[in-house]
Structure 1
């Protein structure tokens, strides 16, 4: 049950972590908002798993380390999606 709940929360977190991931990436990502949110959700889920296995979740107050791990993973996933689906324009 924990994994299903984490998946749902991660997809919702993708709304926030996806655009944050794009902010930390250098350059322009030629992907749409849907891909950004999906990449953020996937990255948040992967980051949540990493945080779970590193036992950094469920601390007192906000889980800043978990959020940082999730944003880093979201940035990696968004960069990967951008390299695969983004349209490249050459001048």
Structure 2
């Protein structure tokens, strides 16, 4: 998969992950792109580590599933981080 294809996959996977997670997450579309690409990388790494599969082509179902699961993980972690630091700012 090419670089632009990977960016597009990350953007779409991040957007799908944002739609799946309930509530409002911090960040706009740039943050979604970044978190989606990081999530796609994480999903590909975890897929290779746990299931012995890697990200395939752009139109392969396993690529999308791994990217979306990775994006969900990254968004959950991002939510914990942003809520933790956001709460401290609100308390000050």
> TM class by shorter-chain length?
0.5 to 0.7
- When you count helix as a share of all residues, which structure comes out higher? 2
8 Å Cα contact 1:11/1:45 also seen in 2: no
Match of 2:44 in 1: 48
For structure 1, the residue ranges without an aligned partner over 5 or more in a row are none
TM-score by length of 1: 0.66
For structure 2, the residue ranges without an aligned partner over 5 or more in a row are none
Q: CA RMSD in A?
A: 2.8
From 2, 24, 28, the counterpart of 2:24 = 28
TM-score by length of 2: 0.66
Give 3-state SS (helix, strand or coil) of 1:71's partner: helix
